[in-house]
Amino acid sequence: MDRQTAEQKIEELRQQIEYHNRLYFVEDRPEITDREYDALMRQLQELESLFPELVTPDSPTQRVGGEPLPHFEKVEHKVPMLSLGNAFNEGDLRDFDRRVRQAVGDQPVRYVCELKIDGLAVSLRYEDGWFVRGATRGDGQTGEDITQNLKTIRSLPLRLRKPVTIEVRGEAYMPKRAFEKLNRERETRGEPLFANPRNSAAGSLRQLDPKVAASRELDIFVYGIGELIGETVESHSEGLALLESLGFKVNPERRVFEQIDELIAFINRWAEKRPELPYEIDGMVIKVDSFAQQQELGFTAKSPRWAIAYKFPAEETVTVLEGIEVNVGRTGVVTPTALLKPVSLAGTTVKRASLHNEEIIREKGLMLGDHVVVKKAGDIIPEIVAVLPERRTGAERPFQMPTHCPECGSELIRFEDEVALRCINPDCPALIREGIIHFVSRLAMNIEGLGEKVVAQLFEQKLIASVADLYYLHERRDDLLRLERMGEKSVDNLLQAIEASKENSVERLIFGLGIRLIGAKAAKVLAERFGHLDNLQRATREQLLEIDEIGPKMADSILTYFAMPQVQELLERLRAAGVNFAYKGVRAEEGSDLPLAGKTVVLTGTLSTMTRQEAEEKIARLGGKVTGSVSKKTDLVIAGEKAGSKLEKAGKLGVQVIDEASFLQLLEQQQAD
């Protein structure tokens, strides 16, 4: 066969295979048998092996999985993948509806209600219609590149029907039949069974060998658009229709509603019908349909105000409380944990449940050996909701909280107005170990490779006794190599990650230090206000209280922390190791000559040249601070197309308003300066 004939035949086979892929994996109406499909694939593979120069990235043969990867690369999402707020009952849904309608005023509101697929959230990027990258959600800003594994999902198009550039969001999942088949195979081989389809899907997509992912029969539903170039849509429902027209698999079980009562009835029907589905769902997602209204509603620090996830009522089951384990956290709080007779609940095996504190044990009247009712809060966190005293045999025993720390033996204390017991020994191994785990965590110094098990191992082997010791581990490389599962490459990667963390902006360090009452957001506020850790250390109570987000208890906690001699010693060791103490963002004082310095800005309507996230970043670079609502404190409103009630309110309050063109002109002037 000559090259031209082969090229024609290869293209013909590819079109046939992709046609049948869509019928089988997307539309669930196959036209040919598996044997006939396999015959088409074999023909294509044979021709591509004879003419390897004709192999293209979108060929069906490229789905089988390539060579194993050494590790997953990090990927920055073009538009952040935010998590959703939760609703657990009808009242929560009605509150959400009330908040939305109050925010948009007299405008009519439409909601799109969809099934909440229980899988792994992913982002897919296509450029000129070609699939170029897929990533996990990660922390919402940065995920892991799992492109090769996602290519193995047959329902995921490798080339779109139009040459658009688009970043879409979806949920990769394992169908129930595939999960059952996988567990049967593992049982036959004597391997541990997977707990549920969600964990199986996540584990499959995080395999370094794509051939493993290819064998797991995963599927995907696409549910949203992150970025879109070359097409225009004005609502979520229009976006879903566009995604379908491009060749994506979009869940058909969705409806648009104008009234909250009808929406709630739809949710209740699916709460009953969910066992009939061939895949797992754990709730429903409700989104305001209009993109203009979505922009008007805006975001909180963690989630959009225009969407909410309704979680189905948790499953409950009965098991036996076999024991209570007591653990000490990084702040010294002693937390009891229930040890349960293993029981299956909401697709997972539950062995433990949080009891929070001694008062909870008393309130519930728990005794060791009791039969208890266990549920998963939001289908995630197991908790004991009730005791069944009628099942007692007389063999049950009361539980007493310890009077001394189980780790260091120090006497436990209870602060005024607190129910929790605490260990306040600063040298307690548990406080130190848990503090280090917090220090290296994602929102703090984000040191990759330093998970709980590695930290525990370093601590037990006396290689670290404080967070500062991490930055001197390069001097103990030989000791690291003797640790379990720590080869040359692992040690080198760990030391490189520790070295890289020295360059973090100081808000990560402030949060990582574990100052009581100071979370990640407060740490960022402090870093922006003071600019350098030395300035924060010297701050007075009055200076701290000048900051809106810092209250009296937080201020006292900061002052108490930095006054401790051991903290001063710790900071000097971190400084000597080269850890950055400076804020690397733009501070108000530094940007005082910027056009929006110190101004409070509100965005409303749809901007045609940039996303809301991009606009907020540009406003910050001009010295401004973006808020979600218009008030007397607002200095400027930037109005895009279809601006709504915020624009009207700005007019009533006499707030300055500029359009997108004026905003772009402001940006150009700043760049020219």
Please give the positions annotated as active site.
Answer: 116
Q: Give the count of alpha carbons within 13 A of 374, CB side only.
A: 29
Q: How far, in Å, CA of 56 to CA of 13, rounded?
A: 13
State the Cα–Cα distance between residues 493 and 334, nearest whole angstrom: 34
Give the torsion through C-alpha atoms of 107, 617, 170, 85, to 10 deg. -60
C-alpha 140/C-alpha 36 separation (Å) is 42
Q: How far apart are CA 357 and CA 336, in angstroms?
A: 6
CB 78 within 8 Å of CB 167: yes
Question: Angle, to 10 degrees, between the axis of helix 34-50 and the axis of helix 3-21?
Answer: 150
Which of 583, 562, 570, 568 has its CA nearest to residue 471?
A: 570
Within a 10 A sphere around the Cβ of 36, how many other Cβ atoms?
Answer: 11
Residue 63 burial (CB count, 10 A): 20
Q: E-assigned strands of 358-477?
A: 371-377, 381-387, 421-422
Tell me, what DSSP letter sits at residue 84?
A: P
* Three-state DSSP class for residue 609: coil
Environment class of 361 (CB within 10 Å of its CB; exposed 0-12, middle 13-18, buried 19+) = buried
Instruction: Give the helix ranges, DSSP H, for 22-146.
Output: 34-50, 90-104
Kindly state the helix (H) or strand (E) to which residue 335 belongs, with its residue range. Answer: strand 333-345
Distance (Å) of CA 551 to CA 164, 301, 546, 555, 600: 49, 19, 9, 6, 22
Could you tell me where the beta strands, DSSP code E, fall in 355-402?
371-377, 381-387
Rounded CA gap, 215 and 213, in Å? 5
Tokens at 672, concatenated: 């020219």
Give me the residue label for tokens 């992912």. 213
Judge whether 484 and 589 are in contact, CB under 8 Å: no
Q: How many angstroms separate the CA atoms of 11 and 56, rounded?
A: 10
Count the neighbouring beta carbons within 10 Å of the beta carbon of residue 597: 16
Sign, CA torsion 526/532/536/540: negative
**In 3D, which of 605, 590, 595, 616 has the Cα closest to residue 650?**
605
Total length of the chain: 673
The residues, any chain, with a CB within 8 Å of residue 457's CB and separated by 6 or more, are: 483, 484
Q: Give the closest residue to 255 by CA, choosing from 244, 246, 245, 265.
A: 265
What is the CB neighbour count within 10 angstroms for residue 352?
Answer: 12
